[in-house]
């Protein structure tokens, strides 16, 4: 499955004022990077793939429609999947994108 281009456009709209954003095809989807660090992506599995502070993963998966990302059969601390239902409206999407951007900004630029 290809990533949702409409979702990618919505992510772009949230990031329009964010400096140093680049886009890169990653993990079968389209990732949005801040200073070279992935913040969020339109996932090929639907919904978002999101980076977060690893220590916050357990708390964040309690949010509706969020789960720990599984990559190559392994649960990845610091990576979340947010289903399509969790980003249906712009307020939901902005909340998640802002979280991913905040974490990416906390990392040293690449």
User: CATH number of the domain that 36 lies in?
Assistant: 3.90.1150.30
Residue 58 forms part of a structural domain: yes
Quick one: pLDDT at residue 2? 86
State the total domains in the chain.
Answer: 1
Residue 99 forms part of a structural domain: no
- From first to last of its 110 residues, the chain has per-residue pLDDT tens of 689 999 999 999 999 999 999 999 998 999 999 999 999 999 999 999 999 999 999 999 999 999 999 998 999 999 999 999 999 999 999 999 999 999 999 999 98
Residue 110 forms part of a structural domain: no
Residue 79 forms part of a structural domain: yes
Residue 32 forms part of a structural domain: yes
* Residue range(s) defining the domain that contains residue 43: 5-85
DSSP collapsed to 3 states, the chain: CCCCHHHHHHHHHHHCCCCCEEEEEECCEEEEEECCEEEEEECCCCCEEEECCHHHHHHHCCCCCEEEEEECCEEEEEEEEECHHHHCCHHHHHHHHHHHHHHHHHCCCC
Residue 9 forms part of a structural domain: yes
């Amino acid at each position: 499955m290809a990533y949702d281009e409409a979702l990618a456009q919505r992510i772009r709209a949230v990031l329009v004022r964010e400096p140093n954003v680049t886009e890169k095809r990653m993990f079968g989807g389209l990732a949005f990077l801040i200073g070279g660090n992935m913040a969020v992506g339109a996932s090929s599995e639907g919904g978002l793939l999101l980076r977060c502070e690893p220590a916050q993963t357990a708390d964040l998966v309690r949010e509706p429609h969020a789960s720990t990302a599984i990559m190559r059969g392994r649960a990845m601390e610091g990576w979340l999947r947010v289903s399509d239902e969790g980003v249906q409206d712009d307020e939901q999407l902005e909340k998640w994108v802002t979280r991913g951007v905040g974490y990416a900004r906390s990392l040293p630029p690449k």
